[in-house]
Amino acid sequence: MKYVLRPVSALLLSAMLLASACNQNSGNQESKETQTQTTTAKEVKLPARANFQKTIDGKQTDLYVLKNKNNVQVAITNYGGRLVSLLVPDKNGNLTDVSIGFDNVEDYTEGADTFFGATIGRYGNRIAKGKFKLEGKEYTLATNNGANHLHGGNKGFSRVIWDAKQVDDKTLELTYVSKDMEEGYPGTLTTKVTYTLTDENELKINYQASTDKTTHVNLTNHTYFNLNGEGSGDILGHTLQINADRYNPVDSTLIPTGITPVEGTPFDFRQATAIGSRIKDQNEQLKHGNGYDHNYVLNGSAGSEMEKVATITGEKSGITMEVHTQEPGLQFYSGNFMDASHTLKNGTKDEFRSAFCLETQHFPDTPNQPDFPSTVLKPGQTYNTTTVYKFSAK
């Protein structure tokens, strides 16, 4: 049999090509939808608890989880009283980990202390030349930050194992007893730090301490935040507002030299301003800190009442964090010494300025600067202060 090839009409050919194109577009659309679904379905999770269960210095470390009705989740390890993960919903309702850290306890114990998420004590921030006089006696501390003492010393509170008690799904109590002359500080100091997660998406941190000898105490939390999510890039596009008319200028070793107005300087964040908008200005103070690493003298009741002192928003996620505190000071640090030397929970590096800190505190070097609000704690007194980080998104 002989087959005869007949020419295809132009109309039929057009129909065939159109059908082919439709099928191809349909396939591409399905592919794109599948990719979108895959991306959307990618779930942000807390690190595995088993990664934090280890014996260190004869004590057991672990990971504790707080959760509220809005699915906000907080993971805390009793190694250094550290906040490891903080999952909050972004403007689209997707959970975002806004806390920088590691997915295992070993990375927190090795090498130089990053202070990621740590409870800081006995004294947060710097003390000049690692010395102070108290009741006529001079005390000498470790100089672990150039010529100065930083964040409690070589070990401080950030590398000890706290005793942990999970009260309920929303509350964790951590206690630690620092012996007399530990890190050079006088007095046996008994400290309790309570983390509480509320249904209003507030993470409350309450600090309490008592001593059997007169001493200095200045406790804080050193969480590194990125409100666009860990590994999302730098924080220079975040907008920040701080309720402070004054700040502490510092010398080249970051020890305060007094108190001065923020007006007319790159340190004026009284109106919401992008962190990166002035960070490269030719300013001596920015050179000292390689960016922002300064204490703000907060307006308001100067430590007696709870005040909203700062508001910061991630420009990509729409997540806003408010800071409320009873403390008179707030250290704003723009991640200037981050150098991509550590691998974070999601596999990315801690790149330069990829996180910020807002540490509520008394002023740096207060033991040597009598004009600053006192950090002296005496027997019979109770150190008691609360800081709140409150999250929302739009």
- Which of the residues 183, 307, 359, 362 is marked catalytic? 359
SS (H, E, C) the chain: CCCCCCCCCHHHHHHHHHHHHHHHHHHHHHHHHHHHHHHHHCCCCCCCHHHHCEEECCEEECEEEEECCCCCEEEEECECCEEEEEEEECCCCCEEECECCCCCHHHHHCCCCCCCCEEECCECCEEHHHEEEECCEEEECCCCECCEEECCCCCCCCCCECEEEEEECCEEEEEEEECCCHHHCCCCEEEEEEEEECCCCEEEEEEEEEECCCEECECEEECCECCCCCCCCCCCCCEEEECCCEECCECCCCCECCCEECCCCCCCCCCCEEHHHCCCCCCHHHHHHCCCEEEEECCCCCCCCCEEEEEEECCCCCEEEEEEECCCEEEEECCCCCCCCCECCCCCECCCCCCEEEEEECCCCHHHCCCCCCCEECCCCCEEEEEEEEEEEC
- The single residue of 149, 151, 216, 222 carrying the catalytic annotation is 222
Q: Is 362 a catalytic residue?
A: no
Note if 151 is an active site residue: no
Residues acting as catalytic residues: 222, 359
